[in-house]
């Protein structure tokens, strides 16, 4: 077993490095389903009312498209269903952890340092996968115990299994992605695409209103959901997905044991011996470094809005079939039409993603600094503000492009499938753009951190996760208004369908400008490096 | 203006670490100035202060007579910098990085660039990720040397170069001196400092402990003497400037400060010298004395 030499040590190292952050998010994510269940219990104490609510949700294909199917009108099934978004976040967290401990370590040259000690070639991967599988298991068990306290039964354990196998599966995918590409960034893109793709497949499948759509079955997320917690559990599905995860892990293990250090699937090719004309300013450099990412984001946004925008209209059909439901939804969401409600959800989720895009650009500025690549740039005739402006432009302007894409593609597909392009396109485009101030404020907080407290820049991700949870679960968890108000996204008018209010938008924009200016000023004054 | 760099009493701390503790540095126009000191002495920190990347806590520093913090951008048009740790953008080729840095500085000499790439045997088409350590350093060196900057600030620029490239580097620096350029060269390679530098400053623990021309510094070194004497070495051991005195039969071995070499030899001659070997002073010894914490005080 020389290949595995040192695995235990590396696992301990990883646990030590993550000793605060890992338990924090694992416990938070694991405990949320229980609080969701608690809130449902408080909202609908009468099982009949609860079943009525569940039925109305089941009857709405666009809602099931977004969150997945509700397999049975009971408390447990409903809670498992509503926690679906959390499972995706948990899977993302687990897979990013795997990449951080594998390809990122390698890219930073630390694997070389360790590889020269008594450590097997694939040991780092194995340690990272053990960490991922172990964390997944812990999340699963905690989630099951938590949910069982609110909704007892085998279903709780089935939900825990669903949670754990999805996390483990994407952890294994991340382990494989880390073997295929030279850069950790590309590996993260692969994982993001895999997660996004599985979500879209499942969404497209479930939006048909057909519980057994092929699209959902071939999506790893959809597949795992068909364990059917609290609705006639199919335990074997968990076993199958776990086997697939292990197979992916073994595949990665084989690659890790046979490939060269620092190598990916594709050997690097030589490039131009001279710089092109565009590479002659800080902005040109920022464009060169970030254009790939920007295009990736825009494609992602186009696909998501295209697929989900056309799914939204099935909702409107369901609405026509049942006026009783329509009335219920108006009470629930305040939107004039079910399709609009769906578009509101779509836009609010893409707005969070666009904020992630902005934060990524802002964090990238910090990475340039910590890796020492900023130093030679600032030693030339480039001022700090000029350099910083390039990244701020991407951080704030990138999301503008993205929301334009969401508005245009979403409006076209929503309008196209409802036969009213000229009517819907401006509505959806407007709705997408209205979310920009909240996005800007989120990103501007990170920009301010970069200028004033650069070590804390990564906290921007925690902030974004908090905003996402507040938006997705705040209402379900019946948090008080002041807590909800902490998220800038709470203040975005619920368009299309809701009332347009300018005041919060102006405030959010002004605050963003102030924070951005603080960031600029702070960066001019502080030490670099 | 005579002095390109003037720093006096520079202080900088990072939390509990006092990186610079009253550092003085003067670099005159047209000289190659060696900047020496043990690991962690504060060389890179000083350079970063001079580049306006760090803000000094105290003391004063001027670069071309300007304030390195406030006038960073205008001053940077006149200098080129090679960092101690060269990290390149993984997706950019070496040639692209060289051009980019030249353009950000405000233009550069294309002919010189190509000539330097050839002299340093650098492949400009490789991506940043795929260069070896020495080649990464060459990318930064070519970018700096190809510029028309008046001042070159080089932080251990040759730590990864092979001996052949080291000699190319020394030729280049000598040529730059001919052209009247000023160079601040931080280095751990004493032979390199001896070969290139007009003056050197030695720093330790954030303070300047010695500064001057190499001849002046040599003066501070000690010559090792081993002599076979006809009579007992009376009074020799107690002469000022004589150190590490050892007697083995009729042989004596000692070190003597170069400043008092003349008197010592005269006293030695009066004792009747039958055989004599002397080892010339090396800078190495001086540096070692200064680098060792106690050695510098004695
Ligand atoms: N950003 C920083 N944060 C904290 N401490 C720092 C930082 N930069 C430098 N130091 C500390 O300041 C001291 C001086 O470091 P510096 O890099 O200037 O040394 P150096 O003379 O260049 O050493 P070397 O020869 O190893 O390159 C060291 O003790 C170092 O640990
Ligand atoms: Mg240094």
Residue B253 is part of a domain; what is its CATH number?
A: 3.30.70.260
In a domain, B290, yes or no: no
Q: What is the pLDDT of residues A335-356, one digit of tens each?
A: 446 678 788 888 999 999 999 9
B125 shares contact with chain A (CB less than 8 Å) = yes
In a domain, B284, yes or no: no
In a domain, B271, yes or no: yes
CA gyration radius, chain B: 23
Residue with tokens 């245009």: A408
Name the range with the highest mean pLDDT among A266-270, A332-336, B160-164, B232-236.
Answer: B160-164
Beta strands B151-155 and B182-186: pairing type? parallel
Ligand 2 geometric centre to CA of B86 (Å): 12
Do B121 and B264 fall into the same domain? no
Candidates B44, B53, B85: best to mutate against A (most CBs of A within 10 A) is B53
In a domain, B24, yes or no: yes
Name the range with the highest mean pLDDT among A185-189, A489-493, A517-521, B192-196.
Answer: A517-521
Do B126 and B231 fall into the same domain? no
Residue with tokens 């298991």: A137
Do A327 and A426 fall into the same domain? yes
Q: What is the mean pLDDT of residues A202-206?
A: 86
Do A76 and A220 fall into the same domain? yes
* CB contacts, 8 Å: A271 with chain B: 92-93, 95-96, 125-127
In a domain, A487, yes or no: yes
SS in 3 state form for B68-125? CCCCHHHHHCCEEEECCCCCCCCCCEHHHHHHHHHHHHCCCCHHHHHHHHHHCCCCCC
Cα separation, A315 vs A209, in Å, equals 10
Do A131 and A94 fall into the same domain? yes
Which range marks the domain in which residue B91 is found?
Answer: 3-218
Do B109 and B250 fall into the same domain? no
Alpha helices (H) in A151-183, listed in sequence order = 154-180
B157 shares contact with chain A (CB less than 8 Å) = no
Do A255 and A297 fall into the same domain? no
Conformational region of residue A314, where left means phi above 0, alpha means psi within -120 to 50, and beta covers everything else: alpha
Task: Return the CATH number at B33.
Answer: 3.40.50.300
In a domain, B192, yes or no: yes
- Specify the pLDDT at position B295: 42
β strands within chain B, DSSP E: 3-14, 17-28, 32-36, 58-63, 79-82, 151-155, 182-186, 199-204, 207-213, 222-229, 242-248, 251-257, 273-279
- Tally of structural domains, chain A: 2
- Specify the pLDDT at position A26: 87
Helix, strand, coil content of chain A in percent (nearest 5): 80, 0, 20
Which range marks the domain in which residue A518 is found?
Answer: 283-529
Share of chain A above pLDDT 90, in %: 58
Do B141 and B248 fall into the same domain? no
Do A204 and A118 fall into the same domain? yes
At A353, give phi and psi (nearest 5°): -65, -40
Which of A365 and A315 is assigned the larger pLDDT? Answer: A365
Atom 9 (ligand 1) nearest CA: B45
Which 3 state secondary structure label does DSSP give B19?
Answer: strand
If pLDDT is split at 50, 70 and 90, which confidence band does A109 have?
Answer: confident
Do B145 and B253 fall into the same domain? no
Q: What is the mean pLDDT of residues A508-521?
A: 97
Do A298 and A223 fall into the same domain? no
Do B131 and B204 fall into the same domain? yes
Beta strands B199-204 and B207-213: pairing type? antiparallel
In a domain, B296, yes or no: no
Tokens of B204: 């330790």
Cα separation, A458 vs A478, in Å, equals 29
pLDDT beyond 70 at A333: no
Closest ligand 1 atom, residue B15 Cα: 4
Structural contact between residues A403 and A377, judged by C-beta atoms closer than 8 angstroms: no
pLDDT beyond 70 at B1: no
Do B248 and B112 fall into the same domain? no
Q: What is the mean pLDDT of residues A51-78?
A: 83
CB atoms within 10 A of CB B248: 9
Domain end point (choices B197, B218, B239)? B218
Decide whether any atom of ligand 1 lies within 6 Å of the B91 Cβ: no
Domain end point (choices A195, A230, A261)? A261
Q: What is the pLDDT of residues B156-196, one digit of tens each?
A: 999 889 999 999 999 999 999 999 999 999 998 888 888 99
How far is Cα of residue A199 from the mean position of the Cα atoms in its chain? 11
Conformational region of residue B279, where left means phi above 0, alpha means psi within -120 to 50, and beta covers everything else: beta
- Tally of structural domains, chain B: 2
In a domain, B241, yes or no: yes
CB atoms within 10 A of CB A413: 23
Who among A268, A276, A381 is closest to B127 (CB)?
A268
Beta strands B251-257 and B207-213: pairing type? unpaired
β strands within A125-273, DSSP E: none
Structural contact between residues A343 and A407, judged by C-beta atoms closer than 8 angstroms: no
Exposed (0-12), middle (13-18) or buried (19+): which is A518, by Cβ within 10 Å? Answer: middle
For residue A353, cis peptide bond before it (omega within 30 degrees of 0): no
Do A446 and A305 fall into the same domain? yes
Structural contact between residues A368 and A395, judged by C-beta atoms closer than 8 angstroms: no
How far is Cα of residue B120 from the mean position of the Cα atoms in its chain? 22
Do B266 and B191 fall into the same domain? no
Do A146 and A294 fall into the same domain? no
Alpha helices (H) in A19-60, listed in sequence order = 21-43, 47-58
Residue with tokens 């670490």: B17
Do B237 and B261 fall into the same domain? yes
CA dihedral A370, A373, A379, A381 (to 10 degrees): -120
The residues near A338 (Cβ < 8 Å, ≥ 6 apart) are A60, A62, A315, A316, A318, A319, A325, A326, A329
Cα separation, A356 vs A350, in Å, equals 10
In a domain, A266, yes or no: no
Cα separation, A30 vs B68, in Å, equals 52
- Specify the pLDDT at position A242: 96
Q: What is the mean pLDDT of residues A17-21?
A: 90
Do A423 and A510 fall into the same domain? yes
Q: What is the mean pLDDT of residues A190-213?
A: 87
Do A241 and A296 fall into the same domain? no
The residues near A331 (Cβ < 8 Å, ≥ 6 apart) are none
C-beta atoms of B72 and A527 within 8 A: no
Cα separation, A464 vs B126, in Å, equals 38
Residues paired with residue B151 on neighbouring β-strands, in sequence order: B79, B182
Do B92 and B211 fall into the same domain? yes
Considering Cα of A191, then A193, then A198, then A200, what sign does the dihedral take?
A: positive
Ligand 1 geometric centre to CA of B70 (Å): 23
Tokens of A410: 């979403």
Do B187 and B252 fall into the same domain? no
C-beta atoms of A273 and B74 within 8 A: no
In a domain, B253, yes or no: yes
Q: At what angle do helices A436-452 and A338-370 cross, to 10 degrees?
A: 20
B149 shares contact with chain A (CB less than 8 Å) = no
Do A331 and A189 fall into the same domain? no
Tell which residue, A357, A441, A446, A349, has the closest CA to residue A394: A357
In a domain, A276, yes or no: no
162-221 of B, contacting A, C-beta below 8 A: none
Residue with tokens 């999340």: A139
The residues near A450 (Cβ < 8 Å, ≥ 6 apart) are A362, A365, A366, A457, A519, A522, A523
Domain end point (choices B198, B218, B238)? B218
Do A420 and A527 fall into the same domain? yes
In a domain, A405, yes or no: yes
Who among A273, A376, A529 is closest to B125 (CB)?
A273
Tell which residue, A109, A135, A114, A137, has the closest CA to residue A124: A114
pLDDT beyond 60 at A329: no
pLDDT beyond 70 at B43: yes
- Specify the pLDDT at position B293: 60
The residues near A262 (Cβ < 8 Å, ≥ 6 apart) are A106, A107, A112, A182, B129
Do B59 and B187 fall into the same domain? yes
In a domain, A356, yes or no: yes
285-344 of A, contacting B, C-beta below 8 A: 285, 288-289
Please report, in angstroms and rounded to a whole number, the separation of the first and last CA atoms in chain B.
Answer: 37
Decide whether any atom of ligand 1 lies within 6 Å of the B42 Cβ: yes
């Amino acid at each position: 077993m020389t290949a595995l030499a040192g695995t235990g040590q590396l696992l301990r190292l990883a646990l030590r490095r993550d000793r605060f952050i890992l338990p924090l998010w694992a416990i938070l994510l694991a405990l949320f389903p229980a609080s969701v269940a608690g809130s449902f219990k408080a909202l609908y104490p009468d099982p009949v009312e609860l079943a009525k609510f569940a039925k109305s949700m089941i009857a709405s294909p666009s809602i099931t498209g977004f969150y997945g199917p509700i397999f049975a009108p009971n408390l447990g099934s409903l809670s498992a269903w509503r926690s679906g978004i959390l499972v995706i976040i948990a899977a993302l967290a687990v897979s990013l952890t795997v990449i951080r401990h594998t390809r990122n370590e390698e890219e930073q040259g630390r694997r070389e340092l360790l590889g020269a000690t008594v450590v097997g070639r694939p040991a780092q991967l194995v340690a990272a996968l053990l960490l991922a599988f172990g964390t997944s298991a812990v999340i699963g068990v905690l989630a099951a115990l938590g949910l069982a306290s609110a909704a007892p039964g085998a279903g709780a354990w089935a939900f825990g299994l669903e949670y754990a196998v999805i996390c483990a599966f994407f952890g294994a995918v991340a382990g494989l992605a880390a073997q295929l590409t030279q850069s950790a960034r590309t590996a993260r893109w692969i994982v993001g695409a895999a997660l996004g793709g599985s979500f879209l497949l499942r969404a497209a499948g479930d939006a048909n209103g057909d519980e057994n759509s092929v699209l959902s079955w071939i999506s790893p997320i959809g597949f795992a959901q068909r364990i059917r917690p609290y609705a006639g559990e199919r335990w074997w599905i968990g076993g199958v997905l776990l086997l697939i995860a292990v197979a992916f892990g073994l595949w990665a293990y084989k690659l890790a044991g046979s490939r060269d250090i620092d190598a990916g699937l594709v050997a690097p090719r030589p490039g131009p011996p001279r710089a092109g004309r565009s590479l002659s300013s800080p902005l040109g450099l920022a464009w060169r470094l970030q254009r790939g990412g920007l295009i990736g984001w825009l494609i992602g946004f186009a696909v998501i809005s295209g697929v989900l925008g056309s799914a939204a209209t099935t909702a409107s059909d369901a609405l026509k079939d049942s006026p009783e439901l329509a009335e219920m939804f108006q009470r629930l969401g305040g939107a004039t039409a079910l399709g609009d409600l769906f578009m509101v959800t779509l836009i609010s989720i893409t707005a969070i993603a666009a904020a992630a895009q902005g934060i990524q650009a802002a964090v990238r500025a910090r990475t340039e600094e910590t890796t020492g690549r900023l130093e030679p740039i600032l030693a030339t005739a480039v001022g700090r503000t000029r350099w910083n402006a390039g990244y701020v432009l991407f951080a704030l302007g990138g999301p503008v492009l993205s929301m334009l894409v969401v508005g245009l593609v979403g409006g076209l597909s929503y309008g196209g499938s409802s036969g009213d392009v000229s009517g819907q396109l401006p509505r959806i485009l407007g709705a997408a753009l209205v979310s920009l101030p909240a996005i800007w404020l989120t990103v501007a907080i990170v920009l301010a951190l970069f200028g004033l407290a650069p070590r804390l820049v990564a906290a921007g991700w925690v902030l974004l996760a908090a905003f996402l949870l507040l938006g997705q679960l705040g209402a379900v968890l019946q948090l008080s208004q002041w807590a909800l108000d902490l998220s800038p996204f709470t203040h975005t008018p619920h368009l299309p369908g809701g009332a347009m209010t300018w005041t919060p938008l102006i405030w959010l924009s002004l605050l963003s400008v102030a924070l951005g200016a603080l960031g600029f000023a702070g960066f001019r004054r502080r030490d670099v490096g | 203006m005579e002095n390109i760099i003037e720093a006096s009493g520079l202080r900088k701390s990072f939390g509990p670490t006092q990186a610079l503790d009253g550092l003085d540095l003067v670099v005159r126009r047209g000289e190659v100035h060696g900047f020496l000191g043990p690991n962690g002495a504060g060389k890179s920190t000083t350079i970063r202060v001079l580049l306006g990347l760090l803000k000094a806590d105290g003391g004063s520093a001027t670069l071309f007579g300007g304030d390195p913090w406030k006038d960073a951008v205008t001053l940077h048009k006149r200098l080129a910098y090679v960092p101690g740790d060269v990290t390149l953008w993984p997706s950019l080729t070496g040639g692209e990085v060289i051009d980019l840095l030249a353009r950000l500085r405000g233009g550069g000499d294309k002919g010189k660039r190509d000539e330097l790439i050839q002299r340093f045997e650098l492949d400009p088409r490789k991506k940043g990720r795929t260069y070896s350590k020495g080649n990464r350093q060459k990318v930064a060196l070519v970018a700096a040397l190809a510029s028309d900057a008046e001042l070159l600030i080089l932080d251990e620029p040759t730590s990864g170069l092979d001996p052949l490239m080291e000699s190319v580097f020394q030729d280049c620096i000598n040529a730059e001196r001919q052209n009247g350029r000023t160079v601040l060269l931080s280095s751990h390679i004493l032979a390199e400092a001896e070969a290139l530098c007009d003056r050197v400053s030695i720093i330790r623990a954030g303070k300047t402990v010695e500064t001057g021309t190499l001849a002046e510094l040599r003066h501070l070194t000690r010559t090792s003497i081993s002599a076979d004497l006809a009579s007992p070495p009376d009074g020799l051991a107690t002469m000022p400037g004589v150190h590490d005195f050892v007697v083995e039969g009729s042989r004596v071995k000692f070190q003597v400060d170069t400043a008092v070499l003349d008197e010592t030899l005269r006293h030695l001659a009066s004792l009747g010298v039958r055989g004599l070997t002397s080892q010339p002073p090396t800078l190495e010894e001086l540096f070692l004395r200064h680098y060792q914490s106690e050695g510098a005080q004695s």
